[in-house]
Amino acid sequence: MKSLASEAAEAAPVPELVAAAEQSLPRQADALARARAFAEPLIAGETLDTGENTLVHADAVADILKQMGGSEAMQAASYLVYACTHLNRPQEVIAKAFGESYAALAVETTKLVAVQRQARGGEARPSGVHAQAENIRKMLLAFSRDLRVVMLRLASRLQTLRWHAVSRTVPPPEVAREALEVFAPLANRLGIWQIKWEMEDLAFRFLEPETYKQIARLLDEKRVERETYVEQLRQQLEDELRAQGLHAQVHGRPKHIYSIVKKMRGKSLEFEHVFDIRALRVIAADERECYAALAWVHQRFEPIEGEFDDYIARPKPNGYQSLHTVVRDATGRPIEIQFRTPAMHEHAEHGVAAHWAYKEAGAKGYAGVSASSDYDAKIAVLRQLLAWERDLAGAATGLFEDRIYVLTPQAAVVELAQGATPVDFAYTVHTSLGHRCRGARVDGAMVPLNTPLKNGQTVEIVTAKEGGPSRDWLNPDLGFLAGQRARAKVRAWFNEQQRHETVARGREAVEKLLQREGRTAFKLEDLAAQLGFKTADDLFAVVGKDEFSLRNIETLLRPPEAPLPQDEFLLKKPRSGAGTPKGGVLVVGIDSLMTQLARCCKPAPPDAIGGFVTRGKGVSIHRRDCSNFRQIAAREPARVIEVEWGGARADREAVYPVDVAVEAADRQGLLRDISEVFAKEKMNVIGVQTQSVKGTAWMTFTIETADAQRLMKVLTQVAEVQGVRSARRR
């Protein structure tokens, strides 16, 4: 057994955490300047769909990325993205000038921009909602391949909204709506509040301009009075905390209009009852001082019941940590106060961008996941992307409910059907991995292979070096497979195994025939070609499945002298004297006694025979094993006499009619194929009776033969005809 770690080469492209990805970039101190110089002649004279100059937009995006802590490499990509559309082979050209990682990031982002533009263009059509859902799915998969794409898209959309605000133009509603409903929730999930708040306010300003102006006007009416009050309270609180030995910094908090509107609508509040209109933030040295500052504030002011949240002990899913409380001052006015450490504040402002800038996630990491390594942080960030997609799923009327996303141990995102199991996962990663799957770990714990997977889990497959799937996997009652694609791969494996067995069986039959015909030197591939097959294995397969008669091969090797018509069987007249051969039977001790062969058993040399003296018809000759003969001999033993075949006095040209019974699977051409055997062996068929019942053919042939032993050899050949189950003398 070995784990999936050794199967990395079979997995999809592994997404790299930005910090780790940028360590792999070639050291290029002037990458940003070179990228701008590279793109400027291509994009300086063009404008985006919004009307903004492309170079100006790229400059602004690079500046936003810088403020968020993005490296020069990420800033350089903001120019290369827009240069891609002007290059015939962007991947090749950018890779040659800047390296593969720069090229991959630029091209991946360009593809995503095109997908988003196409999805927005589809909103007016009935399929618009589904197009947007597909857009989000492709965004998620693009983000999973290279997490830096997230930052580029967020920065670009924020700049688009800023440009419309500065130029006093209104963006298309779908652009503002996508910012509010898709990109802002994404920034929130990744903890990048600096972008979240600004994007929400700008998008809301364009979507509901009247409501925006109303709240802005209410904020502005008493702005001077409120800011004076908040500043006095800020200074007072900071001084008092320091007097308590707590070296904390106290800041006023900006007011976000969209946040205020959401609280007013969500809690049915009037403007004056929204708590965070007056708000402070306390930055303490460590967690202990955060709690100490909170305790002192609750002594100094009256806390409002039900308005306290401890996000330090229980971080939000996106890793956000802080203490929140609302208190009343001496006049009863509510004040919201937050307490956090510098590291918590940095994460709250920049989220994963802070990690990507400083290459470490801190002690808590994201979503409560320990981020002691780049890998742990990468998994945590990807889970936030998956959670973001599921957040949107709730608002997309079930469009995403038919699938889940799970992670490989290398942090690649794998898309599966709802209810998929580890076996489905293994087949999605690679067919060979699925065939050799023997166990699975989900989030580090071994689970049964029919365990339904959940969104965001990390799945590791335990494999055997060789082997194949279990037939139990195809049993729907056991629940090993939920996906049709994986089920088809399992069936294909078993079909191939069955084909191997069928081919081996067919090869053995063909080779035996060649040996019997003395044609072992005949090349099998040539034989198959002459029979109309592409390969020898194709011939063996149909022979092994009894779909191709070996008679066809015999005909090719030794064509019959007079082939019978395809589906006709011509009966021949009995030869003169057949059935009453002169001198064929001798009655011991008596000469010239009339004899006749019994019709019930039709004896022929060298059968053991006996005679029974009839009344007026001479001696009736029976086979000794004939049931009729045994019965009459028991009743009248005195009439039984000894007889024998004539030997040297017998007519050597004499032939005897015998009955042959054949049982076979009924099919087209069965009678023809059996008749060919008798014709080839020069045996005269003088009678045939056939009956077919439920696919089984019962046939009785009356054959003229001079030697019963030779007939038995011919019956062996009849038994080899396709579909024949038995061939015996009656």
Strand partners, 690: 699
Residue 177 located in a structural domain? yes
Please give the pLDDT value at position 282.
93
64 vs 616, residue with greater confidence? 64
Mean pLDDT of the chain: 77
Please determine, for residue 366, whether its predicted confidence score (pLDDT) is greater than 50.
no
Residue 18 confidence class, pLDDT cut points 50, 70, 90: very low
Provide the CB-side half-sphere exposure for 363 (13 A, CA). Answer: 8
Residue 133 confidence class, pLDDT cut points 50, 70, 90: low
Choose the weakest-confidence range: 36-45, 499-508, 574-583, 684-693: 574-583
Phi, psi angle pair for 190, to nearest 5° = -90, 0
353 vs 160, residue with greater confidence? 160
Q: What is the pLDDT of residues 530-545, one digit of tens each?
A: 888 888 888 888 888 7
370 vs 169, residue with greater confidence? 169
94, 129: one domain:
yes
475, 549: one domain:
no
Residue 146 located in a structural domain? yes
Please give the pLDDT value at position 352.
56
**Tally: H helices and E strands in the chain:** 27, 21
509 vs 521, residue with greater confidence? 509
Residue 586 confidence class, pLDDT cut points 50, 70, 90: low
Q: What is the pLDDT of residues 208-233, one digit of tens each?
A: 898 888 877 777 656 667 678 888 88
625, 693: one domain:
no
Please give the pLDDT value at position 356.
46
294, 228: one domain:
yes
591, 475: one domain:
no
* End residue of a domain, out of 167, 201, 216: 216
Residue 45 located in a structural domain? yes
Peptide bond into 606 cis (omega under 30): yes
Phi, psi angle pair for 583, to nearest 5° = 70, 10
Angle, CA 367 vertex, CA 308 and CA 370 arms, to 5°: 120
Please give the pLDDT value at position 284.
93
Q: How many CB atoms lie within 10 A of CB 567?
A: 10
Q: Identify the top-confidence range among 4-8, 62-66, 598-602.
A: 62-66
Please give the pLDDT value at position 348.
72
649 vs 312, residue with greater confidence? 312
Tell how far CA 620 is from the center of its chain.
Answer: 77
Q: Is residue 45 classed as helix, strand or coil in its secondary structure?
A: coil
Domain span including residue 308:
217-350
Residue 492 confidence class, pLDDT cut points 50, 70, 90: confident
| 230 close to 287: Cβ distance less than 8 angstroms | no
* End residue of a domain, out of 350, 381, 403: 350
C-alpha–C-alpha distance, residues 509 and 720, integer Å? 10
C-alpha–C-alpha distance, residues 290 and 173, integer Å? 43
Please determine, for residue 96, whether its predicted confidence score (pLDDT) is greater than 60.
yes
Q: Which whole number is the average pLDDT over 499-513?
A: 85
199, 227: one domain:
no
Single pTM value for the model: 0.52
574 vs 612, residue with greater confidence? 612
260, 129: one domain:
no
Q: Is residue 328 classed as helix, strand or coil in its secondary structure?
A: strand
Q: What is the largest CA-CA distance in the chain?
A: 150
200, 103: one domain:
yes
707, 590: one domain:
no
Please determine, for residue 371, whether its predicted confidence score (pLDDT) is greater than 60.
no
222, 257: one domain:
yes
C-alpha–C-alpha distance, residues 76 and 98, integer Å? 10
608 vs 389, residue with greater confidence? 608
Residue 512 located in a structural domain? yes
Please determine, for residue 27, whether its predicted confidence score (pLDDT) is greater than 50.
no
| 622 close to 613: Cβ distance less than 8 angstroms | no
Quote the percentage of the chain above a pLDDT of 70.
Answer: 75
- Give the DSSP per-residue string, 561-587: SSPPPTT--PPPPPPTTTTS-TTSEEE
CATH code: domain of residue 478: 3.10.20.30
66, 156: one domain:
yes
CATH code: domain of residue 172: 1.10.3210.10
Q: Which whole number is the average pLDDT over 185-196?
A: 79
Quote the percentage of the chain above a pLDDT of 90.
Answer: 13
Residue 324 confidence class, pLDDT cut points 50, 70, 90: very high
Q: Identify the top-confidence range among 267-276, 411-420, 565-574, 696-705.
A: 696-705
127 vs 640, residue with greater confidence? 640
* End residue of a domain, out of 350, 375, 396: 350
CATH code: domain of residue 685: 3.30.70.260
Instruction: Tell me what percent of the chain is helix, strand and coil, each rounded to the nearest 5.
Output: 50, 15, 35
Please give the pLDDT value at position 394.
56
Output b/e per residue, 47-68; b: 16+ Cβ within 10 A: ebebebebbebbbbbbebbbeb
211, 221: one domain:
no
Q: Which whole number is the average pLDDT over 501-511?
A: 86
Residue 26 located in a structural domain? yes
Residue 541 located in a structural domain? yes
Task: Please give the structure tokens belonging to residue 135.
Answer: 């857009």
512 vs 220, residue with greater confidence? 512
Please give the pLDDT value at position 684.
85
Residue 299 located in a structural domain? yes
Q: 243: burial class by Cβ within 10 Å (0-12, 13-18, 19+)?
A: exposed
Q: Which whole number is the average pLDDT over 114-125?
A: 57
| 218 close to 264: Cβ distance less than 8 angstroms | no
CATH code: domain of residue 344: 3.30.460.10
Number of domains in the chain: 6
Please give the pLDDT value at position 101.
79
Q: Which whole number is the average pLDDT over 118-130?
A: 50
Residue 374 confidence class, pLDDT cut points 50, 70, 90: low
Please determine, for residue 351, whether its predicted confidence score (pLDDT) is greater than 70.
no
Q: Which whole number is the average pLDDT over 374-388?
A: 64
Residue 403 located in a structural domain? no
Output b/e per residue, 628-660; b: 16+ Cβ within 10 A: ebeebbeeeeeebeebebbeeebeeebbbbbbb
